[in-house]
Amino acid sequence: MAIADIAPLGVDEHELEEIWSDAPGIPGFFSTVDHKRIGMRYIYTAFFFFFVSGLMALVMRSQLSAPDNHVVSPYTFNQMFTMHGTTMIFLFNTPVLAGFANYLLPIELGTRDMAFPRLNAFSYWIFVLSGIFLYASFVVGKMPDGGWFGYTPYTSKVYNPGINLDFWGLGIVFVGISTTVGAVNFIVTSFKLRAPGMTINRIPIFVWAVLSMAFMILFAVPAVTLATALLELDRLFGTAFFVPHLGGSTLLYQHLFWFWGHPEVYILFVPATGMVSMIITVFSRRPLAGYIWVATALIAIAFISFGVWVHHMFATGMPIQAMSFFSAVSLIIAIPSGVQFFAWIATMWRGKVEFTTPMLFAMGFLLIFLLGGITGVMVAVLPFDWQVTDSYFVVAHFHYVLNGAVVFPIFGAIYFWYPKMVGRKLSERWGHISFWMMFIGFNVAFFPMHILGFLGMPRRVYTYPSGLGWDHLNLISAIGAVIFAVGTGITLVNWVHGRWWGPKAEDNPWDADSLEWSTTSPPPEYNFAAIPVVASRHPLWEQHPLPHAEALVDEEGPKSLSAEGALHHQNTETTGLDARPERALELPHPTYLPFVLALGLAVFFVGLLVKATIVGAFGVGMALVGLTWWAWRTDVDLS
Amino acid sequence: MTAPSAAYPLPRAAAKPVSEGRSVAWWGIVVVIMTEATIFAALIASYFFLRASAKEWPLGGIEKPELKLTVIFSVILWGSSIPMFIGEHAIKKGRVGVLRVSLLLSFIMGAAFLLYSAYDFHELHFGWRDNAYGSIYYTTVGLHALHVLIGLLMSAVVQIKAWMGKFSAERHTTVEVYAMYWHFVDAVWLFVMPTFILSPHFK
């Protein structure tokens, strides 16, 4: 068996480009199924929502910066904290991580696209349409105001008769489809489309993290879909799920919501730690310490995360035995996170750390997550939780986790992978400035909230009287928020500037180890003309030069591995554990189907919202036609 | 950071094709089924949660669910997996005729169940607005019926393809995927039926 030792380019690149590229202009925009375009769109769209939601946070902080303030009305304030939380969770954090996973999985695994490229496009269209759906409430001036977890009975029709909450309930059901479809794609891609030789113990840690996230999504998202769907059945059709005097239970809503809600924290946190592991490995210039421990920890978190949800409900009054169980599990879940933490420290300890911008964000993450993790352990303890429930201490805790420990890695990841995605480099100097402003601003904004919580300030208050000892701390917090916002703004300018005027990036500007750095920056539409063959956890560090599967095709292997496969618009399926090549897989061509189907569903949800049967029926009809067309055209049988 | 490649010889296994495993499409439907099953699991859990806090069950003096006919039609639904199973195995050997007949048979059995469900809903003496029992009953049993309906629509597409001769011993992933979904719809009823129809009869 001979394996070509040099990158094979026996094919004309122009020919490949013609086969793989989308139609130009608007048709290509709506019909593309290229995971890279979709991934970028995910990231752009999510960051749009990030900045919108961030502006709302700034308004809230300025409202609270002084006692008896009147920047916004209480009514607007309620809408803002509801939409801020909803947007950050559903329209920024979850989709931006999905965007990274979409972009990176295929090039990191050494394949030409996701397992289901059309479903991938579908999940993006659902995401953006559900975002528009939720923000249509802003256009009509009726934003949801029930808090980001929408507890009943406050959100029931009786107490909240407006259309506000219907935007929220239906929007959450809608966006859940996108998340779930994405998870299906990530799981199958990670198991079935790895480069030959990338056995299960050579998968990049980021992919392990995405796998863990996807499995959590699979089992958690149905619960929130059900909670909000039942809420909407109550609101729109008058059922009695959460109506106590008709045998319903408001606690049922809380159980269903948090059965998703707590794994969701890990759905966001786990891929962020995956990014951190990749960044720390590269900039410590050595393999990640305890690879197997870290991978195991990621999977362990996924399991344990399903046994902690009741700690959100400690104040609702439950049998002490039940609460003790959930308290214990909430303490236990700190262990796998601790394992990861020590693996990162050990990696840096034994490595030669380079303080690049991505590395700064990763190290900033470590410090912030340490604090957020410790307060997490504190609120897992029953008596302590009872003291701080619904106070600003909780607000501080979950911002340390969800902002500090998720957003910082995401910014680091942007600085890390930007050269690969865009083909240009960002300014390191402005990156450093942005990081320090974000880091300082973050701590100035959120650390005082711990103390505010101890001083008894409840969350979600619109204003407060002077003389409670809250004034200065709230002012400091507002100043911190502004510094943090300017820091993120600098990064935004850096990205925009880098996109057009940044210096061109090499294929592997960081001298990184994983497969995505072996292709060009940005990668061609087909990612790899010939698929690389992997024999190490760090192929670009340890296999030099990186061999390609060109010559395999003369023997038994499927031809799709070679450049010839790229010419035939094919991918290659490999076995789940050992990644041995199995067979060729036809990749679908650009199509409008995903967009049509997503649009049909959007029309259906609008029909429900405005209670117009004819609109809803039209949407269902459109979706059914789309589905049938899709099922008819499917080419799974071609292989 | 560069080690000599000789230290990492390429494993022969990396290049050798092995016996065929499951296709990407099969993996896809299995993962979808996992998440769908979770929805039903959550509904069943909600049922028992509501029941645990109720003084009487069904609530509000609603009669216990009708048993005899439901059991008969349930057996028909579960039975419809058998022809599906036969058809799936037949096409692996290239026997298209057997596939066509068994798909049709399974379709008819599924349709019979769906028609009975519609009749059963029509005969119920309570609505889903009456109380939480009505709400969870209609929602869960209705959601399952919706899955049967979608399964039948999918069957129609697969059957047309089968009659057009699109499947062969080598090409039948669609059949495999569809059969998996249909078995899932039947399997869910193995949990929904005992919960919603049988369990109220036990004190």
| pLDDT on residue A632 | 82
Pairing, β A581-586 against β A570-574:
antiparallel
Coil vs helix vs strand at A303: helix
State whether residue A573 is helix, strand or coil.
strand
* A424 φ/ψ angles, rounded to the nearest 5 degrees: -135, 160
Q: How far is CA A178 from the centre of its chain?
A: 12
Residue B48 lies in a domain: no
**Contact, B47 vs B54, CB < 8 A?**
no
**Would B203 be classed as within a structural domain?**
yes
A239 → closest Cβ in B49, B129, B161: B129
- Give the C-alpha distances (Å, rounded to integers) separating B59 from B62, B115, B119, B203: 6, 27, 22, 14
A318 to chain B nearest CA, in Å?
A: 13
B5: confidence class by pLDDT, cuts 50, 70, 90: very low
Which position has the higher pLDDT, A29 or B16?
A: A29
Q: How far is Cα of residue A276 from the mean position of the Cα atoms in its chain?
A: 14
Q: Tell me the one-letter amino acid at A154.
A: Y
pLDDT tens, A350-382? 999 999 999 999 999 999 999 999 999 999 999
B115-125 pLDDT tens trace: 999 999 999 99
One-letter amino acid identity for A125?
A: W
pLDDT at A121 over 70: yes
Specify the pLDDT at position A187: 97
- The pLDDT tens digits of the residues spanning A295-336 come to 999 999 999 999 999 999 999 988 999 999 999 999 999 999
Instruction: Say if B146 falls within a structural domain.
Output: yes
Q: Is the pTM of this model over 0.90?
A: yes
Q: Among A216, A201, A15, A179, which residue's Cα sits nearest to residue A99?
A: A179
* Residue A124 neighbours by CB under 8 Å, 6+ apart: A38, A41, A42, A45, A178
pLDDT higher than threshold 80 for residue A337:
yes
Q: A226, A138, A132, A212: which is closest to A176 by C-alpha?
A: A226
Q: Would B182 be classed as within a structural domain?
A: yes
* Mean pLDDT, rounded, of chain A: 93
Distance to chain B for A225, nearest Cα, Å: 8
A573, closest residue in chain B (CA to CA): B24
**Half-sphere exposure (Cβ direction) of A154: Cα atoms closer than 13 Å:** 10
Q: Convert the pLDDT of each residue in A525-560 to its tens digit.
A: 999 988 999 999 999 999 888 888 765 554 556 778
CB-based contact A9:A548 (threshold 8 Å)? no
pLDDT band at A10 (very low <50, low <70, confident <90, very high): low
Residue B135 domain-assigned (yes or no): yes
- At A4 the pLDDT is 41
Mean pLDDT of A162-189: 96
Distance from CA of B79 to the nearest CA of A (A): 26
What's the rounded Cα separation, in Å, for the pair B95 and A454? Answer: 74
- Any B CB within 8 A of A500 CB: no
CB-based contact, A72 to chain B, within 8 Å: no
Residue B154 lies in a domain: yes
Position A12 scores a pLDDT of 75
Is a pLDDT exceeding 80 seen at residue B18?
no
Among A192, A252, A637, beta carbon nearest to B24: A192
- B28 and chain A in contact, CB less than 8 A: yes
Residues present in chain A in total? 639
The answer on pLDDT for A564 being more than 90 is: no
Stretch A398-427: mean pLDDT: 96
**Among the partner residues B15, B27, B135, nearest to A557 by beta-carbon distance:** B15
B17 in a structural domain? no
Q: Contact at 8 Å (CB) between A397 and A379?
A: yes
B-chain residue closest to A579, CA distance: B14
Cβ of residue A379 closer than 8 Å to a chain B Cβ: no
Q: Is the pLDDT of residue B198 over 50?
A: yes
Q: What is the DSSP code (8-state) at residue B62?
A: P
Q: What is the ipTM of this complex?
A: 0.93
Mean pLDDT computed over every residue of chain B: 90
Three-state DSSP at B4 gives coil
Residue B149: which domain range? 82-203
CB neighbours of residue A24 within 10 Å: 8
- The answer to whether position B55 is within a domain reads no
How many Cβ contacts (< 8 angstroms) between chains A and B? 192
Q: Which residues of A557-589 are buried (b: 16+ CB within 10 A; e: fewer)?
A: bbbbbbbbbbbebbbbbbbbebbbbbbbbebbe
Bigger pLDDT: A179 vs A576: A179
Residue A293 has pLDDT above 70, yes or no: yes
For residues A65 and A554, the model is more confident at A65
Percent of chain A with pLDDT over 90: 85
* First vs last C-alpha separation in chain B: 71
Cβ pair A624:B133 closer than 8 A? no
Asked whether A197 and A233 are in contact (CB, 8 A), the reply is: no
Residue of B nearest to A199 (CA): B14
User: What pLDDT was estimated at residue A5?
Assistant: 40
From B1, B35, B46, residue closest to A180, measured CB to CB: B35
Q: How would DSSP label each residue in A481-507? A: HHHHHHHHHHHHHHHHHHHHHSPBP-S
Higher pLDDT, A504 or B13: A504
Q: State how many domains chain B has.
A: 1
The CATH number of residue B167's host domain is 1.20.120.80
Distance (Å) of CA A31 to CA A67, A384, B16: 53, 53, 36
Close Cβ partners of B33 (under 8 Å, ≥ 6 residues apart): B180, B181, B184
Mean pLDDT of all residues in A61-77: 96
